[in-house]
Every structure is written in structure tokens, then in C-alpha cells.
Amino acid sequence: MPKYIRLREVSEGEAAEVRRLAHARQAAVELVKRARLIEYLLDHPEVPASRAGMRVGFGSNASGSEWVKRFNAEGVSGLYNRPKPGRPVTHTEEVRSQVLDLAIQKPRSLGYPFEMWTLERLQTALHEKQGLHLSRSTIWQWLDDEGLEWKRQQSWFHEPEQHDPQFVEKRGPSSGRM
């Protein structure tokens, strides 16, 4: 005969927190599903954890039982994801915010002699202003993740009357050549 996993005695505070998480709109989907499992068992204590898991949307009988075991042992904190192995985060969200803040400002307003950012110019400015060294691919990825797009810079060199004699000085360093 299989052993049924039952929910342990839950305090009022834990029950209130579980119900809050079960109906949260700003929480991770997995966390809400786990909280709904515990909430279901609070409302239906006669139902085994495996069956409750299936009723709230877990894909297997074992999932409900495993999450109830973890809740019984750790309480509400057991419903959250545990840290996963892997390389630690290299740059904090604060660094990412600094990059994005710089990228949305006009270079001239910060005292630079050019009108547009390039990845190399952003990289140089970050190094000068914050002492940060980030690869261009990291900068590109972060800007792309935020929905900022690089546009191809337009050239007016085909119209000789519009050439600026101070173009080279205003443009700043070009990529690779000094």
C-alpha cells in the first residue's frame, strides 16, 4: 500500500502567506503553482498530495508529494527556488543600470565631442566615468535586452558641399586606427 504524504499542521501566519502567494500576480509562475498546491491541501486536507498536485497542474503524481515534503520540512521558504550551481553573476544590476543610463543620454550633453554613441565610445565612456570595463558584446546584449536598437549611422560624404573640415576631431577615435 503506497504511503500518502499529508500536509503538516500549518500556522495561521503560514496559511496567510501561502494564500497570498497562491494569488500573487507579481510572483514567479512556479512559486504560485506550489503555493496553490499547499492552499488546495489547506482547503481539502483529505486529499493526498499526489492527487492535489495533479489537480493544480503539476505533470506527475510525484511533483505534488515532493513539494509537500519540502513545505513540511522548510515552511513557506521551501516553496521558493533554491540557488542553482553555475558561474556567479559578474556584473550587478547597478552596473547594468549605469550602462543603460549612459546609453540613453546624448554624448554632447556629457561633454563629449560627438553626437552619437557607438559601442566603442560607450565602452570608453564607462571606463572613464565609472572605471568599468565591459565587453562590447555585453553592452550590446544589455541594450538589446532593454529594447534599444542601434541604427546604422548615416553618411553625408557623398555631398562635398556638406563636408565639415573638423569632422575627424568631432567624430572622436575610430575603431582600430589612431
* Residue 162, in any domain of the structure: no
Contacts of 25 (CB under 8 A, 6+ apart): none
In tens, the pLDDT along 119-131 reads: 899 999 999 988 8
Domain hosting 66: range is 12-79
Average pLDDT, the chain: 85
Write the burial class of residue 96 (CB in 10 Å: 0-12 exposed, 13-18 middle, 19+ buried): middle
* Residue 87, in any domain of the structure: no
The domain boundary, picked from 57, 79, 101, lies at 79
pLDDT of residue 115: 86
* Residue 157, in any domain of the structure: no
Same domain, yes or no: 97 and 72: no
**Model confidence, pTM:** 0.51
Is the pLDDT at 162 greater than 70, yes or no? no
- Residue (of 56, 70, 50, 64) closest to 22 by Cα position: 56
Is the pLDDT at 176 greater than 60, yes or no? no
Is the pLDDT at 155 greater than 50, yes or no? yes
pLDDT of residue 178: 44
The domain total for the chain is 2
